[in-house]
Amino acid sequence: MAESHRQQRVAERIRKILSAELAKSNFSDAVLDKQPITITHVIPSPDLRHARIFFTALGGVTLVPVKDLKDALTRHKTVLQAALGRQLTMKFTPKLTFVPDDAFDKADHMNRLIHGLPQSN
């Protein structure tokens, strides 16, 4: 189902707010301090009460396991939701779910298959 125009606007606003909060690095977390991440995509639910946040390691270089990154983001979910609540002018602040974005890995895999390059590990 296609996202409505409002869902797209809210998704982009959420992405910008979360990216700014993560860039501030105000989290005393060894995992997030070691591995910078980027928010690649946000998919809000039709009622805008939930949002799936897709993330990946900045620059595509993973210094820590993706599961650890997801756990670290989940630990700081309430702080990030509070930041959204302060900056969004909506009736409800979306509940966040963090999902590793493997689209870049899949694209690299397909590119290597097309060009006959050896597979990377």
pTM of the predicted protein model: 0.82
How many angstroms separate the CA atoms of 41 and 29, rounded? 23
Give the H/E segment covering residue 37: strand 37-44
pLDDT of residue 1: 56
Q: Which two tokens stand for residue 60?
A: 């595509």
What is the average pLDDT across 21-47? 88
For the chain, what are the domain ranges?
5-115
Q: Of the ranges 20-29, 71-80, 89-98, 103-112, which one carries the lowest mean pLDDT score?
A: 103-112
pLDDT at 108 over 60: yes
- Residue by residue, DSSP assigns 38-85 as EEEEEEE-TTSSEEEEEEEEGGG--SS-HHHHHHHHHHTHHHHHHHHH
How many angstroms separate the CA atoms of 43 and 20, rounded? 18
How many angstroms separate the CA atoms of 44 and 52, rounded? 6
User: To which CATH superfamily is domain 5-115 assigned?
Assistant: K homology (KH) domain (3.30.300.20)
